[in-house]
């Protein structure tokens, strides 16, 4: 079964600093990987996705993520954080195979606090 681990429950960074949020997945085949962001009281918004090809993917709001198969990781990065980036971030993994395995599995999330 697929699983996702986000090792950091809560991260605090200063505005303008760089950011890296960690995501490790467990899945036997080639995974589909996603990062979502959730602001308080809101639904989840897709930041970026990886299916195949270039292992460095660009997303919205200046975020990028790198797929590293050897490390089973899909870490999210941003070179300079803005106060509006304060939110909760979720990594998710989906299955490549067909049949009835249409599920996405989410990590428990990382809460990002941005200090002025």
Partner 1 sequence: DAGITQSPRHKVTETGTPVTLRCHQTENHRYMYWYRQDPGHGLRLIHYSYGVKDTDKGEVSDGYSVSRSKTEDFLLTLESATSSQTSVYFCAIRQSQTSPLHFGNGTRLTVT
The helix (H) or strand (E) run that includes residue 74 is strand 73-78
Q: Which is nearer to partner 1, 78 or 107 (CB)?
A: 107
Binding to partner 1, residues 71-90 (CB under 8 A): 90
Binding of residue 29 to partner 1 (CB under 8 A):
no
Question: Is 11:112 a contact under the CB 8 Å cutoff?
Answer: yes
Q: Degrees (nearest 5) of the Cα angle 19, 22, 24?
A: 165
For partner 1, the closer CB: 45 or 115: 45
Among 25, 34, 67, 74, binds partner 1 (CB under 8 A): 34
Single out the segment in contact with partner 1 by CB under 8 A; choices: 10-18, 22-30, 65-73, 105-113.
105-113
Among 11-19, 20-28, 42-50, 72-80, the segment contacting partner 1 (CB under 8 A): 42-50
Determine contact, residues 96/63, Cβ cutoff 8 Å.
no
Q: Which of 83, 63, 84 is nearest to 74 (CA)?
A: 63
102 lies in the binding site for partner 1 (CB under 8 A): yes
Beta pairing partners, 17: none
């Amino acid at each position: 079964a697929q699983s996702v681990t986000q090792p950091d429950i809560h991260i605090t960074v200063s505005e303008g600093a760089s950011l890296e949020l960690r995501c490790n997945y467990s899945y036997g085949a080639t995974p589909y990987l996603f990062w979502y962001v959730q602001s308080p009281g809101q639904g989840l918004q897709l930041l970026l996705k990886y299916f195949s090809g270039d292992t460095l993917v660009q997303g919205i709001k200046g975020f990028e993520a790198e797929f590293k198969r050897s490390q089973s990781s899909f870490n999210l990065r941003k070179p300079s954080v803005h106060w509006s980036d304060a939110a909760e971030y979720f990594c998710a993994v989906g299955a490549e195979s067909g049949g009835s395995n249409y599920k996405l599995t989410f990590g428990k999330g990382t809460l990002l606090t941005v200090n002025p």
